[in-house]
Amino acid sequence: MTTPIRFGGLASGIDTDTIIKQLMQVERVPVDKLEQKKQATEWKRDAYREINRSLLTLRNSAVDLIFSRNFYAKTASSSDESRVSVVAGPSSGNTAIRIDSVTNLATAASQIVEPKDRDGNAVTKTTKVSDMNLQSATQVVTLSTAAKEWTLSPKPRAGETVALKDASNNPIDASYDEATGKVMMNDGSDIPTGTTATYTSGYQIQIRSVEGGDFKTIKIAENATVENLITALNGKDSGISAFFEPLSGKLSLTQKQTGSVAIIEFDGVTKAAFGIDTSAVPVKGTNANFMVNGISMSQSSNTVTIDNMTVTLKSSFIAGNPVMLSAATDTQKVFDNIKKFVNQYNETIELMNRKVKEERYRSFNPLTNAQKNELSEDEIKKWEEKAMSGLLKNDTIVRGAMDTLRGKWSSASSPTNDVDMKQLFQIGLSTGADFTNGGKIELNEEKLKAAIEKDPEQVYQLFTNQESGLLLKIRDAATSSRSSITRIAGADGAGAPTYSMGREMTQIDTRIQRLNALLVDKENAYYRRFAAMETAMNQANSQAASLQQFLGGGM
C-alpha cells in the first residue's frame, strides 16, 4: 500500500507527524510483543532442530558401527612380501602359518594364431570378416508387441530366406521385403505378438573357456572387420583377452583365468580360419603348487584363502627358506571405531546438557525493528546472544532424551559366561562420577584395548547383541527422541502446519496482520482529527484576519 503524502501543521504550526508517530509507538506495543514472541519461538525451534540434527548423526553413527567388520578388524604380516603377501579378513583367527615352498605359480592359457582370409593371405585390421572362412550366424528375433510392420535387426543377409512363425511355432502368412528390411502380413493385418524370425546374418565364433564347459557363441555383424572381431573377442562373455599385432598379422589370445581347467578352445570352423590344427587339443593353464605347514596344495589361482586369510603367491621358491604369515586382531582400528562413536555420543550429550543448563536472561527480549535501528551490529549481536540463551533451560523433552540415552549404557549387556565382560563399564566405558556433565562417557583406553585383545567377540556382543546390545538401544532411543522433538519443532524445511511450533507461529502471524490493519485505521483516524483541527484553526485565522481588516478600515 502506498503511504499518502501529508503536510501537517500549516495552520497550527504543530508538528503533527511527530506527535502521531509517538502516539503510534504506544499503539504498536501489542504488535511488538507478538513479533518478539514469534522471534523467540523461532529461536527455540532452531535450538530444538540443532539437537535433532545431532541425534540423527548419533543414530547414523550407531548404525554404521553395528557392522561386524568394525569389531573384527584384522592386521596381517608376511616375513617376505616380495614372495608371498597376505591380507587378513574379519573372520581370520589370531594365527600363524608357514609357506614352505612354491614349486610353480598358476598360469593362464595363452595361444598365438595367424588368421587368414579365403585366399590364404594374412588379415589386417580392415579385412572384412566376410572375407574369412568363419561360420555364418543364425539370428532368431522375436516381436514383443503386435505391429503392422516389423523391421528386422540385424538385417538378414541378402538373398537369404527368412522363416516366420507365430508364438506356437506355426508358420504365418507373412513376407519379408529385402528392399525395406521389413516384415508385413500378406493380408494387411497386424503381425501377432511373439512372432519369431529366423534367418542368417553376420558370423559367429564358438569358444569354450572352461574344461568340460559349454561353448559360448560370439556373434559379429555382417559388415564387421577384423578390428570389430578383436573387440568382440575381448567382450566379457568370451573368457579371453585378445591382442592383434598388425605388422605380423598375429593374434595373441590369453585366458582371463589361471589354472589347469581354464582353456582356450574354438569350434572347428574357427580353428581353420585362425590357422589352428583342427585335431589339436585345447591349450590350458597350470595350477599353483605349493606347500603350507608341510602339506602340499594345488590351486587354480595365485591368490588363495588359507585359514580365512587371503594369500597371494608372487614367486616360486624352494624349501629351506619359508615365508611366515601371521594374522591378529587390529586392536587400534577396533578401538578407533568405538572411540569415534563415543565421541559422537559425547558431542550430542554435551549439546543437550548445555542447552538445558544455559542461563536465561529474561530482561533480554528479542529486539524490535525500532530498537535495532538505534544499535550497532555488534551491540545487536551481543544482545541477541543473551536473548537466545536459555530457551531450552530445564526442558523436559531434552532432559528426558538425555536420561534415556544415559540409561542405555548401564542396561547394555552381553550373554557371556565371562563375568568380567558382561557390562560396558567392565571394558572401560562408563558414565563416570561427574553427574554435571549430563552422562558423557568416559573412555579408559588401556582397559578397552585390553578387552579387545582378550575377546573381540564379547566386545562385539556388548555393542550389537539383538536383545541387549548397546547400539540398537541407542539407535532406537535417538529415533524416539527425534520423533518427539519433530512433533514440536518439525524437521528442517518442514511446513508450518506439520508441527506445533509452526502452527503457533502461524497464529501469531495472523494476529499481527489483524493488529497492523487496526493500526493503519488508527493512524488514519489521528490524521483526520489533526486535519480537522487544522481546518478549524485555518477558518479561525481567516475570520480573525477579516475582522481585523474590518476594524482597521473603520478607523
- Per-residue confidence (pLDDT) for residue 128, from 0 to 100: 95
Listed as ranges, residues in the chain with pLDDT below 50 are 1, 554-555
Q: Which of 438, 445, 434, 439 is nearest to 409 (CA)?
A: 439
- H-helix or E-strand spanning residue 268: helix 268-273
- Per-residue confidence (pLDDT) for residue 539, from 0 to 100: 77
Cβ-based neighbours of 269, under 8 Å, separated by 6 or more: 133, 134, 135
Q: Show the CA angle centred on residue 531, arms to residues 526 and 532, nearest 5°.
A: 100
| Burial class for 453, CB neighbours closer than 10 Å (0-12, 13-18, 19+) | middle
Q: Which of 117, 171, 164 is nearest to 139 (CA)?
A: 164
- Per-residue confidence (pLDDT) for residue 29, from 0 to 100: 78
Three-state secondary-structure class, residue 220: strand
Strands 196-210 and 163-165: antiparallel
> Cα separation of 100 and 320, whole Å?
7
| C-alpha cell recorded at residue 291 | 606347500
> Cα separation of 15 and 7, whole Å?
10
**Do you find a cis peptide bond into 156, omega within 30 degrees of 0?**
no
> Cα separation of 303 and 310, whole Å?
7
Predicted confidence (pLDDT) per residue in 272-313, tens digit: 999 999 888 999 999 999 999 999 999 999 999 998 899 999
Other CB atoms closer than 10 Å to residue 11's CB: what's the count?
A: 16
